[in-house]
Structure 1
Amino acid sequence: MSDVCTSRALTTPGATVLENREIARGTFLLRVDAPEIARRILPGQFVMVRGPGEGSDDPLLGRPFALYEVRRDASGEPVSLDVVYLVIGRGTAALSRRRPGDRVDVWGPLGNGFGPSPGPGEAVFVAGGIGQTPFLALGREWLGQASHGDQPRETGTPVSAATLLYGVRSADLLAGVDDMRRAGIAVEIATDDGSAGRPGFVTNLLEERLRSGEKPAKVVACGPPPMLAAVARLAREHDVPCDVSLENHMACGFGACFSCVAPIVQDDGRPDLRRVCVEGPVFPADRVDWSKPSH
């Protein structure tokens, strides 16, 4: 895990919405004017977003969103950040109605980011549902195209290639594929209904690669727990390093409410509950106790 934590988190009350558009069925890209957060945030970290005027006195109404990408001006200075979200309840439905010029409260960066690039081999990202969102920024950084954050840190050797294995229920839910490909990240798709790419589970794509003898430098996964558990099992069977980004429900984002705990194996071999928002969301796959439910 990275040693980046929430101690440098910032609050940007009333950040201006620059863009908020639907990029797939029920999936939106939100761009906010939050330059200080954009300057500090790392791939794998997240922000909490809340709309002023809609129960904004209630901290439980914040929603966690992983960094999609940092936007920069002509000089390369970070000026805004993008997140991608799926409308699944009242909070995200309200957020989807925000228009450019509206305001939202944003606080972050929160959580721990991904570790240094594992190059010079290939990185394989595995995403299910909305789990593709952390991999644009991560892929660009690991390919050596961009750097994030304002503090010195180990970045590792760039990977020689990056591939996203992306699974969704149907083709109309695919979001950000063109962004990934423009960044040089190859994309292979699996859909439950066969409407795009290969029919079936995205983990089948990973299994075929590993069984064919491919040896990625690292596998990184984000998505529903059953998918993550399957990815962790495949990585363990083929002796491939693997990290996972957990999507546990979060209410506060900074460790106070304990709503997002996950069973994480400690150095003594026993699992203990750890807060995903503070000690994650990124964990080595072999440190998650997949036999126990997460919150």
Structure 2
Amino acid sequence: MDFEKPVKDLIDEIENTKNRQEKTNIDMSDMIQRLEQNIIEKRKDITKDLTSWQRVQLSRHPDRPYTLKYITKMTENFVELFGDRNVKDDKAMVGGFASLNGETVMMIGQQKGINTKMRQLRNFGMANPEGYRKALRLMRLAEKFNKPIITLIDTPGAFPGLEAEERGQGEAIARNIYEMIRLKVPVICVIIGEGASGGAMGIGVGDKVFMMENTWYTVISPESCSSILWRSWDKKEIAAEQLRLTADKMLGFGLIDGIIPEPVGGAHWDYDEAAQKLKDFLIPVLQEQKQKTAEQRVSERIEKFGKMGFWDEV
């Protein structure tokens, strides 16, 4: 990212210092240590006062951990399940049973892909209707065996192609929202990257909804909002600010229940720490939800989403 350039300059300086150390056999460990400490301080400074657009950029960072990375780092014995039993297996949506802190849970989320070839295979994290139907099948399976559900949301939106609409994209998302409200098991939703439009809502209805620190959640991307309002993408920074899409704004609006901190500078700097922070946050929330009856969870879920928003009557 452009605003991360000062950090890159320090990393380059460390590499140059290490090369000089090898060539000259002069101990420069103190200088390298100071530079490494400067990197940490610089990362703190950079992320202290980020704009909304810069948060959007961080959420899309190519090195940012995706769903499968979090699952691998914070769970054990993950068994991926495939297919919607109707059309095909959607690679943009992944899910399966895993062990989280010794307890079996159902993990579901969008997967973008870690390189160009994988991004094409995963359709850049944009699920088709069969992806949402696959997710619903896995949720019902978890409910059958009385296992909690954790969804990790990271999508620029549901796939808007003609074939997706022909197979009922809108119905699939609406069905998921309807069914997730009524699930009898605990459901925890976490936005780990982009949370755009119905693509996010299709697996985003739960007892608790959280956002990681450098993520966004809104009805439309800043670029699309800019193109609609100003007929150009040039106003995307203004659109990002006006959409109030960052985690702190969403918490203030009452649309989410909490913000999960990330490693200094963003989750892309340390996968292990990012996954550990998420895991440490989820475990007590799951324990809290397990103490409630199924009827209580469903009732609270309906009330939670039913009272969202604020308005004036005249």
Q: TM-score, normalised by structure 2?
A: 0.29
Higher normalized strand content (fraction of residues): 1
Which is higher, the Rg of structure 1 or of structure 2? Answer: 2
Structure with higher helix content: 2
Which gives a bigger RCO, structure 1 or 2 (Cα 8 Å, sep 6+)?
A: 1
